[in-house]
C-alpha cells in the first residue's frame, strides 16, 4: 500500500464539492488516513509550489491557493499516487471535461489554474507534501 497527498483547492471547497469528492475517493477504494482544513498564507502557498516559482502563472497560482481554505487529505491504497492522479484527470479542467469526463476535475474544475484538486506526482513529492501538511505524525 502507498500514501499520497490529496488536496481540495479553494474553488473545490467554495463550490461545495467536498462531499462529492470524498464520495469518489471512498468509492475508488482509498482510505482517508488524515485530513485537515487549512488556510494557506502566501509564504506557505509559495513553499508548497516552490517548483513553479519561475513560471509566469506563479503569482496568480499563489493568489488562487490563498483565496480560501483548502482541505488536505492523506489517501492510502495500492498505487495510491497514480490511482489518485488518474481519478482527478488532466491539469487543464477544460481538457478533463472533453477527454476525461468521469474525472474529478471534469466535475468541479474550470481551467488550467482553477482545477479544484491536487495530487502528489511521485513518491518523493507525496512524502514532502504529507510532511508539509501533517508533520511527522503518521497516525500509526
Ligand atoms: P497539482 O500539482 O496541483 O496536482 P498538476 O500536477 O496537475 O497540479 P502542475 O503542472 O504541477 O499541475 O501545476 C500546479 C498547479 O499550477 C496546477 O494544478 C494549476 O492550479 C496551476 N497551473 C498549472 N499550469 C498552469 C497554467 N498554464 N496557468 C495557470 N495555472 C496553472
User: Is 77 within 8 Å of 31 (Cβ atoms)?
Assistant: yes
By CB atoms closer than 10 A (0-12, 13-18, 19+), residue 97 is: middle
pTM metric for this prediction: 0.95
Q: Please give the residue range of the domain that contains residue 59.
A: 2-134
Model pLDDT, residue 106: 98
C-alpha 27/C-alpha 107 separation (Å) is: 16
Residue 45 C-alpha cell reads as 502557498
**Catalytic residue selected from 11, 62, 118, 119:** 118
- Residue of 91, 109, 128, 133 to mutate, ligand 1, most atoms within 8 A of C-beta: 91
Q: Is residue 112 in some structural domain?
A: yes
Model pLDDT, residue 59: 98
Enter the ipTM: 0.94
C-alpha 47/C-alpha 54 separation (Å) is: 13
Q: Is residue 140 in some structural domain?
A: no
Total domains in the chain come to 1
Q: Is residue 139 in some structural domain?
A: no
Here the CATH number for the domain that contains residue 16 is 3.30.70.141
Digitized pLDDT (tens) for each residue of the chain, 140 residues in all:
999 999 999 999 999 999 999 999 999 999 999 999 999 999 999 999 999 999 999 999 999 999 999 999 999 999 999 999 999 999 999 999 999 999 999 999 999 999 999 999 999 999 999 999 999 755 55
Amino acid at each position: 500500500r502507498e500514501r499520497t497527498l490529496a488536496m481540495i483547492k479553494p474553488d473545490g471547497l467554495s463550490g461545495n464539492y467536498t462531499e462529492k469528492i470524498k464520495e469518489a475517493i471512498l468509492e475508488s477504494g482509498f482510505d482517508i488516513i488524515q485530513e485537515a482544513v487549512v488556510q494557506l498564507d502566501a509564504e506557505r502557498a509559495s513553499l508548497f509550489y516552490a517548483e513553479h516559482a519561475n513560471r509566469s502563472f506563479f503569482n496568480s497560482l499563489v493568489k488562487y491557493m490563498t483565496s480560501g481554505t483548502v482541505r488536505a487529505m492523506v489517501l492510502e491504497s495500492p498505487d495510491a499516487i497514480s490511482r489518485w492522479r488518474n481519478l482527478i484527470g488532466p491539469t487543464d479542467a477544460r481538457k478533463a471535461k472533453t477527454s476525461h469526463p468521469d474525472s474529478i476535475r471534469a466535475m468541479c474544475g474550470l481551467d488550467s489554474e482553477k482545477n479544484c484538486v491536487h495530487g502528489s506526482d511521485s513518491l518523493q513529492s507525496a512524502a514532502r507534501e504529507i510532511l508539509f501538511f501533517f508533520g511527522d505524525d503518521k497516525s500509526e
